[in-house]
A and B are shown apart, each in its own frame.
Chain A
């Protein structure tokens, strides 16, 4: 029946699919990326001195770093402007006398009073936490390598740091954080469809007619609920497939994917229950849309992928959609196994609320819905 009504088909299938593609493509590239690198401006003011090979060695060591992308500048003002405009993460100025300083060190390595000191200018974009913390030590490393050579970097010490364990950090995009909310987002709109279809069936006399058959109101509404649960399975399948197509890879296996269907089935009970209650409160199919949005909007804004803060987080805990989103995020984003307690707690909450809402919906609609 539902598949023959274009508007219903759109809301239940096409809309979630379109949302997945739109959000996935729009936010899939934000916040992630491949290897981290820094754009660094370099001004060498010692390039014409007789000891210029030192500054050139330093520049080469900076350039050979896999982390820095070096952009050469001819004057300080242009470099500073580039930094201010966000085109650079850092700007390095090699001062005049850089080579002289190093030569003086080698002349009297144990007499600092004999050194010609100079200072490298290092300017870092304060808006980039990563640049602020990562660039200075890397510059220091390049400087030491320039002064003491490769061998100095491998100087023997009585204490050393163990070989670092290589941990691959996943580079999450904005979409990775949003994707779990899309599953709830898709199912939330069932509320509107259930409310509309139930009020139409009531107003057209279909429910009255069905009440003259041996099937009870509860049988009939449970039948409806079952059909919407099937739609929930279709929605999850489509959203997963669409997400996969645009490159989304959840941090879970087959079991986690399977569990997503279970969670979504539980949430479909919530949506159908709200739909039945909306239909009970509605005098016509037109008003049912408005009334259903009283249930849809809070769940949409407080329980899917909208950023929340402060007291809103507390309020969101009363939204079933928040719990399904949290359960899916635990699986997909944090890579938790399906045995994780938090997932089962969320499933229990959504299931309990869903069953209660269905029961209340059937009782209310059964009493008043056939008027």
Chain B
């Protein structure tokens, strides 16, 4: 096992003349629940997409469990589970079948897959719906199934890109409990969100990025103390001069 779960060094990503990430440096420890906060276009998803090997860095490097995302993407893919911002699934398959498909892609043994799936479905309160076709799901259900698709391989590192967007409060709570349990089991979780209360509730540390640059990093408590703020929303306001929801 490498020294840190994720190490990002001088990471820059440009799309033509737009700089989406500008010289980002981060180090995330094993077992950490790390939040990446910022408005749309801040560079959160770009960071996640480089870490999950969908994008190649323009400059700099990133390693996941010691595997360089540019030189050893196969090694990276074996240790990660990815819940994308836009939940991608096969609408004609049931939720269960979608999850099994992802398990098969990760070569999870059938018996392990079945047992793990049943446990996860129960925890995320989808027992009554998991055998329905995914095209009939509500937005919240789709998000929950999408997260199980990411985690069915029991990855060392989970990359969750806005996993609770469009969820009702009850479903969001169920997902939060699920994420907490991941941490309790020693998993490293990277969570991007623009819900400040979510980051405050769940994350060990958060990085606030805006316009591709890291502007602050630390635990929610540290940041609130440092900036003499009541919550992370206020921290963000003091750092950027704008409310996060307004910036989205």
Binding site for B on A (CB under 8 A): 1, 4-5, 204-206, 208-216
Stretch at the interface among B23-31, B87-95, B114-122: B87-95
Residue of B102, B133, B153 with most chain A CB atoms under a 10 A cut-off: B102
Instruction: Check if B88 sits within 8 Å of A212, measured CB to CB.
Output: no
Closest residue of chain A to B104 (Cβ to Cβ) is: A215
Partner of B92 from A1, A205, A208, A209 at Cβ < 8 Å: A1
User: A215 CA to B52 CA in the complex, in Å?
Assistant: 13
B107 within 8 A of partner (CB): yes
Instruction: Check if B105 sits within 8 Å of A213, measured CB to CB.
Output: yes
Q: Binary interface profile of B, 32-58, with partner A (CB < 8 Å = 1, else 0)?
A: 000000000000000000001110000
Instruction: Check if B53 sits within 8 Å of A212, measured CB to CB.
Output: yes
Instruction: Check if A212 sits within 8 Å of B89, measured CB to CB.
Output: no
Closest residue of chain B to A8 (Cβ to Cβ) is: B92
Instruction: Check if B90 sits within 8 Å of A209, measured CB to CB.
Output: no
Partner of B77 from A1, A4, A208, A213 at Cβ < 8 Å: A213
User: A210 CA to B106 CA in the complex, in Å?
Assistant: 10
Stretch at the interface among B78-86, B163-171, B210-218: B78-86
Closest CB pairs A-B (n = 7)? A205-B88, A213-B105, A4-B92, A212-B82, A209-B88, A212-B52, A215-B105
Closest residue of chain A to B85 (Cβ to Cβ) is: A205
Other than the given A205-B84, A206-B89, 4 more pairs (CB < 8 A) read A208-B84, A212-B84, A213-B77, A214-B107
Instruction: Check if B54 sits within 8 Å of A212, measured CB to CB.
Output: yes
Q: Within the complex, what minimum Cβ distance (angstroms) separates A216 from chain B?
A: 8
Q: Within the complex, what minimum Cβ distance (angstroms) separates A45 from chain B?
A: 79
Instruction: Check if B92 sits within 8 Å of A213, measured CB to CB.
Output: no
| Chain B residues with CB below 8 A from A215, complex form | 105
B59 within 8 A of partner (CB): no
Instruction: Check if A213 sits within 8 Å of B102, measured CB to CB.
Output: yes
Closest residue of chain B to A206 (Cβ to Cβ) is: B88
Q: Count contacts between A and B, CB distance < 8 Å.
A: 44
> Can you sample 17 A-B contacts with CB below 8 Å?
A1-B90, A4-B92, A4-B93, A4-B133, A204-B88, A208-B54, A211-B54, A212-B53, A212-B54, A212-B77, A212-B84, A213-B102, A213-B106, A214-B77, A214-B78, A214-B106, A216-B74
Closest residue of chain A to B79 (Cβ to Cβ) is: A214
Q: Within the complex, what minimum Cβ distance (angstroms) separates B46 from chain A?
A: 14
Instruction: Check if B92 sits within 8 Å of A5, measured CB to CB.
Output: yes
Q: Within the complex, what minimum Cβ distance (angstroms) separates B61 from chain A?
A: 19
| CB-CB contacts below 8 Å: B201-239 with A | none
User: A315 CA to B84 CA in the complex, in Å?
Assistant: 48
| Count of chain B residues near A, Cβ 8 A | 22
| Chain A residues with CB below 8 A from B88, complex form | 204-206, 208-209
| CB-CB contacts below 8 Å: B107-165 with A | 107, 133, 149, 153
Residue of A4, A210, A212, A215 with most chain B CB atoms under a 10 A cut-off: A212
Q: Contacts A4-B133, A205-B84 hold; do A210 and B105 have CB atoms under 8 A apart? A: yes
| Chain A residues with CB below 8 A from B86, complex form | 205
User: A214 CA to B153 CA in the complex, in Å?
Assistant: 11
| Chain B residues with CB below 8 A from A206, complex form | 88-90
User: A321 CA to B230 CA in the complex, in Å?
Assistant: 72
User: A205 CA to B149 CA in the complex, in Å?
Assistant: 14
| Chain B residues with CB below 8 A from A210, complex form | 105
User: A171 CA to B53 CA in the complex, in Å?
Assistant: 65
| Chain A residues with CB below 8 A from B92, complex form | 1, 4-5
Closest residue of chain A to B97 (Cβ to Cβ) is: A1
| Chain B residues with CB below 8 A from A5, complex form | 92
| Chain A residues with CB below 8 A from B53, complex form | 211-212
Residue of B77, B93, B107 with most chain A CB atoms under a 10 A cut-off: B77
| Chain B residues with CB below 8 A from A208, complex form | 54, 84, 88
Residue of B77, B102, B105, B107 with most chain A CB atoms under a 10 A cut-off: B105
User: A209 CA to B74 CA in the complex, in Å?
Assistant: 14
Closest residue of chain A to B92 (Cβ to Cβ) is: A4
| Chain B residues with CB below 8 A from A209, complex form | 82, 84, 88, 149
Q: Within the complex, what minimum Cβ distance (angstroms) separates A151 from chain B?
A: 82
Instruction: Check if B54 sits within 8 Å of A1, measured CB to CB.
Output: no
User: A204 CA to B142 CA in the complex, in Å?
Assistant: 14
Residue of A210, A214, A216 with most chain B CB atoms under a 10 A cut-off: A214
Closest residue of chain B to A207 (Cβ to Cβ) is: B88
User: A251 CA to B107 CA in the complex, in Å?
Assistant: 47
Q: Within the complex, what minimum Cβ distance (angstroms) separates B140 from chain A?
A: 19
| Chain A residues with CB below 8 A from B105, complex form | 210, 213-215
| Chain A residues with CB below 8 A from B106, complex form | 213-214
Instruction: Check if A214 sits within 8 Å of B54, measured CB to CB.
Output: no
| Chain B residues with CB below 8 A from A4, complex form | 92-93, 133
Closest residue of chain A to B88 (Cβ to Cβ) is: A205
| Chain B residues with CB below 8 A from A212, complex form | 52-54, 77, 80, 82, 84
| Chain A residues with CB below 8 A from B84, complex form | 205, 208-209, 212
| Chain A residues with CB below 8 A from B149, complex form | 209
User: A204 CA to B90 CA in the complex, in Å?
Assistant: 9
User: A205 CA to B84 CA in the complex, in Å?
Assistant: 9
Closest residue of chain A to B146 (Cβ to Cβ) is: A209
User: A210 CA to B53 CA in the complex, in Å?
Assistant: 11
User: A206 CA to B86 CA in the complex, in Å?
Assistant: 10
